[in-house]
Structure 1
Amino acid sequence: MSTDTHDQKWLSELQATLTHEFEAHTARLTQLTADTGDPAEAHTSAALIAATRQSLEQISGALRRLTAGSYGSCEKCDTAIPRERLEILPHARFCVPCQQKQNG
């Protein structure tokens, strides 16, 4: 990914946003894992916990790639992931063609 001043500003803002989202999801996970004792809520809680954990994994992966300097490069073919895709899906690990191959 190009590293001009505009991109650096965008990456810095993205990192701040992802960090905030990570903190919010962590707080949510803490709340979700608190046992309410209501067996009727167990199934719904389990699904919410799984979704929150998946979001945390995706966000932390994006933050790791930002720190490592590999953010914005496809993990399969190493081509640049278009910024438009990253703006919509900031945790994207693959370019569209590689993602389609990954999904089958």
Structure 2
Amino acid sequence: MSTDTFDQKWLTDLKTTLTYEFEAQTARLTELTADTGDPAEAHTNAALIAATRQSLAQITDALRRMSSGSYGDCEKCGTAIPRERLEILPQARFCVPCQQKQNG
């Protein structure tokens, strides 16, 4: 399913939302990586930094797929990912059956 299969307004709104989320996560990462000098926060911050970086990577990948026209296609089997799944998880790369196989 190429991006032209989706309602263009929905896709534009989703891209705007993902772009906003990317900016928010980037600001959060900047804040988290500021050294507070508190060793008690180091472990917690490391986990938050890792989660934020993963979120940024997923958002970046979703925006790349939108630009290339492959957004909404399962990266494993090539079938269309249902819009309902993408509304809940906009960065989804796999359809539900392939995601379940991926998770084991």
TM norm structure 1: 0.95
Question: What amino acid maps onto 1:65 in structure 2?
Answer: R
4+ residue runs of structure 1 moved beyond 3 angstroms?
Answer: none
Residues in 1 aligned to 2:8 and 2:71: alpha-carbon distance in whole angstroms: 12
1:19-67 deviation per Cα after TM superposition (whole angstroms, max 9, x unaligned) = 0000010010000000000000001100110110010001000000000
Residue 23 (str. 1) matches residue 23 (str. 2):
yes
Structure scoring higher RCO (CA < 8 A, sep ≥ 6) equals 2
Residue 12 (str. 1) matches residue 48 (str. 2):
no
**2:23 aligned counterpart, secondary structure:** helix
Gap regions ≥5 residues in structure 1? none
Q: CA deviation at 1:87?
A: 0.3
Question: What amino acid maps onto 1:86 in structure 2?
Answer: L
Question: What amino acid maps onto 2:23 in structure 1?
Answer: E
Residues in 2 aligned to 1:92 and 1:10: alpha-carbon distance in whole angstroms: 16
Residues in 1 aligned to 2:100 and 2:38: alpha-carbon distance in whole angstroms: 41
What residue is the counterpart of 2:96 in the other structure? 96
Alignment of 1:13-52 (within 5 A): 13-52=13-52
Q: CA deviation at 1:12?
A: 0.4
| Identical columns (%) | 81
**1:44 aligned counterpart, secondary structure:** helix
Residues in 1 aligned to 2:27 and 2:66: alpha-carbon distance in whole angstroms: 23
Gap regions ≥5 residues in structure 2? none
Once the two structures are overlaid, the 10-residue window that deviates more, 40-49 or 6-15, is: 6-15
What residue is the counterpart of 1:78 in the other structure? 78
RMSD (CA atoms): 1.2
Residues in 1 aligned to 2:68 and 2:13: alpha-carbon distance in whole angstroms: 16
